[in-house]
Structure 1
């Protein structure tokens, strides 16, 4: 169960934009991966883009020096707190564990290991200080990119650790009915999220107007089987010079899933230096770190099934320039 203070509701986005950007990178699920942080800061600097780290930028960084460096570097940009930062920032433990609010199909063993990782990381955060600053981070941001109103969240449009922006939920027949209510309450054109740790992008043509949900999955972990790169969401008034994994054009702006290539061999060494073989994080994540999850690009972006040029997560695909129609019954 999510703690009560994880909830906010769609109407919270019906406000003036917190910031404006020509190009925005949304970086969810960095998980303390410094090589991925190097890569995304360089990528953003090349086009003077704004960076938002939308939660869980800490996770594997239990080494105090690494934790402090990740924290300092992320804070030079815009940041939201995810469930990890929220639980690290609590003065009194509410018993929420890692705050992941996993769906029922996740085993209790996995939940227990995540809670153990959080306990270790809390000790690091307590030693390094800065817990109050983590607690003060916002849960949501509204960003104006061109004509788009973008709602940036960690989980979904109702909860910090919500799972309703997962592929499984977005593809349910009843989801457009719920999203119609969400769009009317929020006036948001694009929601950018990450909490589910697997990427998905879906477009809906609703009665109140089009809506895109762009979930980057994880910047600091592989997202597809037999790959080594992370993914970030890029939203800009011009398309990326990099060929995206997937692209939707809406109101003259581009919403893109961009692969984040980082020095994965260096990352493997840094991970193992903190979480050696047999440790809680190694048991839960090492297989994904080296081989990727059992998930495919066509699950994340079903339109790719119509294009034969997509091979092993590479970007040999036509750009998708028109929103896919998903009408409310």
Structure 2
């Protein structure tokens, strides 16, 4: 397979291994933050959101599940993003993995499926090549990235919350992509929940949001994909999204949410300063550059999805 579509063997793992040793956490709220994409203004807003919850008496843990790097292709921004993110709970995305451990023939490491246009793949490989050049000047950060796990399982409120980047078989898997839910992936979901023993699976990687809930083998299970924290996810809406998993009440600001197993799981908007980020983005990625062609319209205007398109099984 060509660069950007292949999946390195190092990305692979077995669902049955993912929750063997869950890590107990004591917080009341988890923010699962995937796809920050090097956006410091989104990170500012996420920190503000967490502080607002803490002022209400909620203990909040920030969990970054990969691709916190992407557009931060300058020395100062690369170091700022990584220094700030690495203060929290973190697992790798394919972007971060390829910055620390470049794989022969992997390109961006996105493992894009056939339905993704080749132009998107080529541009992602170009972005990765530039970002790897920046990362090479920061060997201390590269070493910190090499030490990060590919997934985390958190014991939260007595339930297992499995945090992955792609899906329960691969760091860059597309099994939890919005497109997979549209196509109908119930049998695969049941297998993954059964083998892993997870109650909640949180993912990102594939850039479009999902909130799914159902009963699997007499257990209430939830899958959530926050799409991207650092750019728009919904129609004419430039706000990012993070997954909020909480033992506390849901927040009114949630785009969509459900309650299962005593947990509130929702997708929360990240209302960062879009104008400031676009100005910074345009300096790094001017018109005609790979990132500008692939992403600038989405950063400014979101996607074609409505909140109702995000919830599975579909509701009338």
- TM-superposed CA distance for 1:67, in Å, is 0.5
Hey, what's the Cα distance between the residues in 1 that align with 2:307 and 2:123? 28
Please report how far the alpha carbon of residue 68 of structure 1 lies from its aligned counterpart in structure 2 after TM superposition.
Answer: 0.1
| Alignment partner of 1:176 is 2:186 | yes
Identify which of 59, 77, 98 aligns with 2:70: 59
Who is 1:294 aligned against? 304
1:181, distance to aligned residue in structure 2 (A): 2.3
2:17 corresponding residue in structure 1: 12
Q: Are the aligned partners of 2:35 and 2:205 in contact in 1 as well (CA < 8 Å)? A: yes
For 2:234 and 2:308, how far apart are their aligned partners in 1?
10
Count residues with an aligned counterpart: 304
Q: Matches of 1:227 and 1:176 in 2, distance apart?
A: 29
- Trace 1:1-329 onto structure 2 (pairs within 5 A): 1-20=6-25, 21-46=27-52, 47=54, 48-90=59-101, 93-129=103-139, 130-173=141-184, 175-301=185-311, 306=316
Report the TM-score when normalising by structure 2: 0.92
Q: Is the 1:23–1:145 Cα contact (8 Å) retained in structure 2?
A: no
- The answer to whether the Cα contact below 8 Å between 1:151 and 1:192 also exists between their aligned partners in 2 is yes
Displacement after TM superposition at 1:297 (Å): 1.9
Unaligned runs of 5+ in 1: 307-329
| Whole-angstrom CA distance in 2 between matches of 1:19 and 1:117 | 37
3-state SS, counterpart of residue 127 of structure 1: coil
Aligned-partner Cα distance in 2 for 1:45–1:178 = 37
Distance apart, 1:291 and its partner CA: 1.6
Name segments (4+ residues, structure 1) moved above 3 Å.
302-306
**Hey, what does 2:3 align to over in structure 1?**
none
SS in 1 for 2:300: helix
Q: TM-score if structure 1 supplies the norm length?
A: 0.88
What SS is found at the alignment partner of 1:284?
helix
Paired residues of 1:145 and 1:235 also in contact (CA < 8 A): no
Closer/same/farther in 2, CA of residues 101 and 262 from structure 1, 3 Å limit: same
Alignment deviations for residues 76-100 of structure 1 (CA, whole Å, 9 cap, x no partner): 111111000111111x541200000
**Separation in 1 of the partners of 2:294 and 2:131?**
15
Q: Distance in 2 between matches of 1:241 and 1:167?
A: 24
C-alpha separation in 1, matches of 2:229 and 2:100 = 22
Tell me the CA shift for residue 296 of structure 1. 2.4
**Contact 1:29-1:217 at 8 Å conserved across structures:** yes
CA contact (8 A) 1:35 1:262 kept: yes
Aligned Cα root-mean-square deviation (Å): 1.6
SS at 2:107 equivalent: coil
Aligned partners of 1:288 and 1:136: how far apart in 2? 32
